[in-house]
Amino acid sequence: MNKIDKRLHFLLGKVKEECKKVKELSDYELKNKTNEFKRRLLAGETTEDILPEAFAVCCEADYRVLGMFPYDVQILGGIALHLCYLCEMNTGEGKTLTATMPLYLNGLTGKSTILVTANEYLAIRDAEEMGQVYKFLGLSVKAGVNRDTNEKLDNETKKDVYNADIVYTTHGALGFDYLINNLVRSKEDRFMRDFYYVIIDEADSVLLDSASMPLVISGSPRVQSNLYGITDFFVTTLVEDVHYTLEDKKVWLTTKGVEYVQRYFRIQNLYGKENYDILRHVVLALRAHFLFDKDIDYVVTDKGEMVLLDKSTGRKLNGMKLRGGSHQAIEEKEHLELSDEQRSVAAITYQNLFNLFPKMSGMSGTIADGKDELLEVYHKQVVVIPPNKPLARKDLPDKYFKTSEEQFDAVIKETVKRHNTGQPVLLIASLISDTEMLSKLLVQENIEHSVLNANNAFWEAEIIKEAGQRNVVTVATSMAGRGTDIHLGPGVKELGGLCVLGVGRMNNTRDERQARGRAGRQGEPGVSIFYTSLEDDVCEILGDDFLEKYIEKDKHISKRRIKKLINKSQKIKSESSVFQRKSSVDYDSVMQRQRTIMYKTRNDLIDGKNLDENVLVQIVGNNIDEFFAKHKNVDDFLMNRYILDNLSYRLKKLSISTADKKEYLKQYANRAFNDKKQLLGKRFSEYCRLCTLSALDEGWVEEVDYLQQLQAAISGRSTAQRNLLFEYQREARISFEDMEKSIKKAMIRNILLGEVSFGKDNEMIILYP
Ligand code: ADP
């Protein structure tokens, strides 16, 4: 027994001792234990101090309320979960009940305690069924998802949910809620408490398989502007050095050019706020025409799509888009259909989401296979909990075929054979298309069956529950109905229990064990066989040419050779996913660092942290310094433009006694600042906070969007990963610095140019420039 196991067993002994005492308590006394524990925690005892007693109380409540007393192995699992290990417990061992103990114990702290399940069905089911136990013991419990997944919970309901002592939800809902909670504009709209303890059900699927998929909140597509077309044409009428100047990969309008734009678009002042859109589009069109060259910076594909090129390598940057309308401007120049401008507003990966919990644990039937990776990436140890009753399922050796035709043929034959005896058969394929094919073949054999494609968890749970009944044939993908208990119907034990037929090698051995685990729960009989062929999806990795050579009709190939090839493919495939996940951790850590800074700043603002006025004035000054550094010759025209863009909508001649232009602007700015301050009086600091928040969000949204695109483009390329990562980090740092600068400009602009009115509750309504 290793050190961890010893500790778990030691604590198990303590829990069992307490169980004897607790048995004697009346219901009233048992319930009262919750208050006692809470008091003791407040008085300084730790959750570990009270673990034996609290677990015992929960076990007894499980028994009194649900009629199930946790087995010793479940108590062991519960302890391991509390100690933040990742627990491997076979399917059917009762993970749902196991989780009640650590959830109860951690719920007693009054801090946010959450269990995430694989789907909505399980979250609602477990919150209802296990919820009875917590309620009996005086803790509150809520499900964080709706039965109808299209119906979103409103803010008030969410507040209610996340205030509950124990929450059951899905990882998707939790992730999105976290992002939404960090997009709110005021304290009152927040609905989440700080994270404390989480148990992740099906942890391998969440922490490994879905880990690098980011959750992204997209803004609605921006309304497509009709200015792209007009400005695009307009720009073709311009003459270099008369209307615009090109220098150093930069392009700008000359004074003549500006006048020409004003005449052309019949406007008074191109730099006026009301003409911002025209200005922006003219600039975009100028850049599209004079800074971006076809076949150097981008190509136009046969499908009429514009794809950017990596200039150093000439490789296509598929999926990468230029920001802020540049992409559309180039599309317009090439007369292509304009793509939607849709931005990512917020994003996070599961890896980072769960790393936000000070205490994270997980459970799954198949997590031990990923233990090295989990240790490396999450610094989490896997503990394997032995089964309550020895496994009686027979896992027969895999069957190997050259073509999928032979493979499917054999699967159907086996199904028919077993079905004729009345034995239930569950066919599991990794691809949806394979489930459809199997279904067709079963129809040809006149075998009634259900097909589950992981579309609707509620409906599928109902069907898969029946998969262990006599004569029933079910076809499912590996994710469908995961986590739902399959009970054997009367007489099925005698027929050998449930028969699981796996179709095709899966991407990793975890998925296969998961499939086999549908049979043989709690020491029941069962059987599993996998049917594989060289046409399985995993073998794609060997390359089409290579495969074709083998699959040719008349060519003989030994079973041993097929086996070797298939095993090799699976190994490459799972190793490459491990590699991909590790690199996504590296990429994501960049965004994570930035997000931490931004969310902290944001939260401080929302919580009412006041901005130092001196700092604001200093930023105003810095912005002006920067403007002068950028423009060598600041003439009256530029001065006025700066004022209109940044300081005031009305150009006033102020009696400022200085000839120095920079000094003049600074004094002008200070007056504007003081005017605003006077106007708003007591509410000036609130106003500044809101203006800053708005600038912050605008900048951060751009940054998130940009990082998403940059990462997608860079990580899509596979060579020289290290350099790419380095490049990405550098780009990300630069863009973060740019963002900080633009936020500083925007916040001052917001403060000086924002227009305030007050609503009926005297709340501030700001019209931002
Ligand atoms: P898992 O999620 O580990 O696959 P479940 O939580 O779905 O397993 O539980 C499997 C079945 O075992 C359920 O029907 C549950 O009611 C039952 N069960 C779990 N623990 C116990 C127990 N201690 N005593 C009796 N039945 C139990």
Residues 237 and 321 grouped into a single domain: yes
Residue 213: per-residue pLDDT: 64
Contact 528 CB / ligand 1 (< 6 Å): no
Per the structure, how many domains does the chain have?
4
Calculate the dihedral angle through the C-alpha atoms of 299, 300, 303, 304, rounding to the nearest 10 degrees: 150
Span from the CA of 114 to the centroid of ligand 1 (angstroms): 20
* Structural domain includes residue 355: yes
548: CATH: 3.40.50.300
Number of residues that make up the chain: 769
> Whole-angstrom Cα distance, residue 197 to residue 113?
5
Residues 301 and 362 grouped into a single domain: no
Contact 66 CB / ligand 1 (< 6 Å): no
Residue 718: per-residue pLDDT: 39
Residues 200 and 230 grouped into a single domain: no
Residues 558 and 634 grouped into a single domain: no
Residues 228 and 193 grouped into a single domain: no
For the CA of 96, the closest atom of ligand 1 is 6
Residue 709: per-residue pLDDT: 65
Residue nearest to atom 9 of ligand 1 (CA): 94
Contact 94 CB / ligand 1 (< 6 Å): yes
Span from the CA of 92 to the centroid of ligand 1 (angstroms): 6
629: CATH: 1.10.3060.10
Residue 218: per-residue pLDDT: 66
> Whole-angstrom Cα distance, residue 297 to residue 311?
7
Tokens of 346: 């917020």
Residue 455: per-residue pLDDT: 58
Q: What is the DSSP string of 529-554?
A: EEEEETTSGGGGGG-HHHHHHHHSTT
Q: Find the DSSP H helices in 203-301.
A: 203-204, 227-236, 255-264, 276-290
Q: Which residues pair with 48 in a beta bridge?
A: none
Contact 68 CB / ligand 1 (< 6 Å): yes
Residue 19: per-residue pLDDT: 97
Q: Of 331, 358, 384, which closes a domain? A: 384
Q: Are 204 and 507 in contact (CB under 8 A)?
A: no
Q: Are 270 and 258 in contact (CB under 8 A)?
A: yes
Span from the CA of 96 to the centroid of ligand 1 (angstroms): 7
> Whole-angstrom Cα distance, residue 369 to residue 453?
25
Mutation test residue for ligand 1: of 72, 93, 498, 513, the one with most atoms within 8 Å of CB: 93
Contact 514 CB / ligand 1 (< 6 Å): no
Q: Of 516, 549, 572, which closes a domain? A: 572
* Structural domain includes residue 736: yes
* Structural domain includes residue 209: yes
Residues 103 and 155 grouped into a single domain: yes
Residue nearest to atom 17 of ligand 1 (CA): 94
Residue 313: per-residue pLDDT: 47
Return the number of other C-beta atoms located less than 10 Å from residue 376's C-beta: 12
> Whole-angstrom Cα distance, residue 316 to residue 89?
46
What angle do helix axes 457-465 and 120-129 make, rounded to 10 degrees? 70
On the 0-12 / 13-18 / 19+ scale of CB atoms within 10 A, 336 is middle
Span from the CA of 461 to the centroid of ligand 1 (angstroms): 15
Instruction: Tell me the per-residue pLDDT of 23-77, one tens digit each, with 9 for 90 and over.
Output: 999 999 999 999 999 999 999 999 999 999 999 999 999 999 999 999 999 999 9
Residues 517 and 564 grouped into a single domain: yes
Q: Find the DSSP H helices in 359-403.
A: 371-378
With a CB cutoff of 8 Å and minimum separation 6, the contacts of 702 are 323, 324, 343, 739, 742
Contact 78 CB / ligand 1 (< 6 Å): no
Span from the CA of 522 to the centroid of ligand 1 (angstroms): 9
Helix or strand or coil: residue 569? helix
Number of H helices and number of E strands within the chain? 27, 22
* Structural domain includes residue 429: yes
Residue nearest to atom 26 of ligand 1 (CA): 68
Amino acid at 112: S
Residue nearest to atom 5 of ligand 1 (CA): 94
Mutation test residue for ligand 1: of 55, 62, 68, 98, the one with most atoms within 8 Å of CB: 68
Q: Which has the closest alpha carbon to 400: 515, 559, 564, 548?
A: 559
Residue 54: per-residue pLDDT: 98
Contact 92 CB / ligand 1 (< 6 Å): yes
Residues 211 and 69 grouped into a single domain: yes
Q: Are 349 and 215 in contact (CB under 8 A)?
A: yes
Contact 520 CB / ligand 1 (< 6 Å): no
242: CATH: 3.90.1440.10
Residues 237 and 189 grouped into a single domain: no
Whole-prediction pTM: 0.77
Residue nearest to atom 19 of ligand 1 (CA): 94
Residue 78: per-residue pLDDT: 98
Residues 107 and 22 grouped into a single domain: yes
* pLDDT beneath 50: ranges in the chain: 312-313, 715-722
Residue 324: per-residue pLDDT: 62
* Structural domain includes residue 316: yes
> Whole-angstrom Cα distance, residue 405 to residue 410?
9
* Structural domain includes residue 553: yes
> Whole-angstrom Cα distance, residue 554 to residue 240?
69
Phi, psi of 534 (to 5 degrees): -65, -10
Residue nearest to atom 15 of ligand 1 (CA): 94
Can you say which residues are annotated as belonging to the binding site for ATP? 74, 92-96, 485
Burial state string for 6-39 with b = 16 or more CB within 10 A and e = fewer than 16: eebeebbebbeebbeebeeeeeeebbebbeebbe
Residue 720: per-residue pLDDT: 39
The rounded radius of gyration (Å) of the Cα atoms in the chain is 32
* Structural domain includes residue 589: no
Q: Are 65 and 98 in contact (CB under 8 A)?
A: no
On the 0-12 / 13-18 / 19+ scale of CB atoms within 10 A, 436 is middle
Residues 210 and 260 grouped into a single domain: no
Residues 443 and 486 grouped into a single domain: yes
Span from the CA of 268 to the centroid of ligand 1 (angstroms): 76
> Quick one: CA dihedral 349, 351, 352, 356, positive or negative?
positive
Structural domain including 375 reads: 3-216+350-384
Tokens of 325: 């309308």
Residue 716: per-residue pLDDT: 38
Contact 484 CB / ligand 1 (< 6 Å): no
Contact 70 CB / ligand 1 (< 6 Å): yes
* Structural domain includes residue 274: yes
Span from the CA of 91 to the centroid of ligand 1 (angstroms): 9
